[in-house]
Amino acid sequence: MHLQESGEMYLETIYVLTEEKNYVRSIDICEHMGFSKPSVSRAVGLLKSGGYITVDSDGHIKLTDAGHEVAHKIYRRHKVLTKFLVGIGVSENTAQDDACRIEHHISDETFEAIVKYTDQKS
């Protein structure tokens, strides 16, 4: 199953929420992303059937290894791109927003070049 940008955003949100609390539920995702319960429920179902998450009997959502891999990749891209954009003079808020859009479309080659450039400037 190829993930669309929205699927990657959900996985990244689950990843971030997992870092903040012991367990993640659909309602946590709704509150964090500002999406409706039906939208989140549909996405959770798709991610579960795609093998990216598991949901236990209490409704606790966990990333599978495949889900964790995608989520970590997107989260890393977000952090690096935000740092890069701030470093070239973009405001923090704009950098965060732009990084969120870019992280889903940037090629691995371009991203790794930005990582290398950013590391050299540090």
The CATH code of the domain at 5-69 is: 1.10.10.10
What CATH number has the domain spanning 74-121? Answer: 1.10.60.10
All CATH 1.10.60.10 domain ranges in the chain, comma separated: 74-121
Tens digits of residue pLDDT in 70-97: 999 999 999 999 999 999 999 999 999 9
Tell me the pTM.
0.89
pLDDT category of residue 2 using cuts at 50, 70 and 90: low
Write out the chain in H/E/C secondary structure. Answer: CCCCHHHHHHHHHHHHHHHHCCCECHHHHHHHHCCCHHHHHHHHHHHHHCCCEEECCCCCEEECHHHHHHHHHHHHHHHHHHHHHHHCCCCHHHHHHHHHHHCCCCCHHHHHHHHHHHHHHC
Per the model's pLDDT, the better-predicted residue between 116 and 3 turns out to be 116
Domain span(s) for CATH 1.10.10.10 in the chain: 5-69
